[in-house]
């Protein structure tokens, strides 16, 4: 509004809404929020486990233990499938 002077404020009829209404910023669906938080915590735990597993896998591979490295690769694939399953669990939350 280029014609509004900074001191005019609420007296201008063109200004109808000054901000969000009552209750803005509060959680409207606490069940959904807790479900998403639990899923996020589980996914972050799996990601940390994947990083740890990748570190072990690379260490074993560099030492020449290919069998252990393949078991580690299987662990990484399995943990990826767990996170993918969590993502696919409830399509309406995306």
Q: Which of 80, 61, 77, 78 is nearest to 69 (CA)?
A: 61
CA 83 to CA 12: how far, in whole Å? 53
Residue 66: per-residue pLDDT: 87
Query: At residue 29, does pLDDT exceed 80?
Result: no
pLDDT band at 94 (very low <50, low <70, confident <90, very high): low
pTM: 0.57
CA 84 to CA 86: how far, in whole Å? 5
CA 42 to CA 86: how far, in whole Å? 9
Query: At residue 31, does pLDDT exceed 70?
Result: yes
């Amino acid at each position: 509004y280029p014609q509004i002077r900074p001191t005019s404020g609420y007296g201008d009829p063109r200004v109808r809404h000054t901000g969000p209404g009552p209750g803005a910023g509060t959680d409207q669906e606490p069940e959904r929020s807790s479900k998403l938080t639990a899923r996020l915590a589980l996914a972050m735990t799996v990601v940390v486990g994947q990083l740890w597993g990748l570190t072990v896998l690379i260490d074993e591979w560099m030492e020449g233990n290919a069998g252990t490295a393949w078991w580690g690769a299987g662990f990484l694939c399995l943990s990826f499938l767990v996170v993918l399953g969590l993502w696919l669990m409830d399509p309406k939350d995306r």
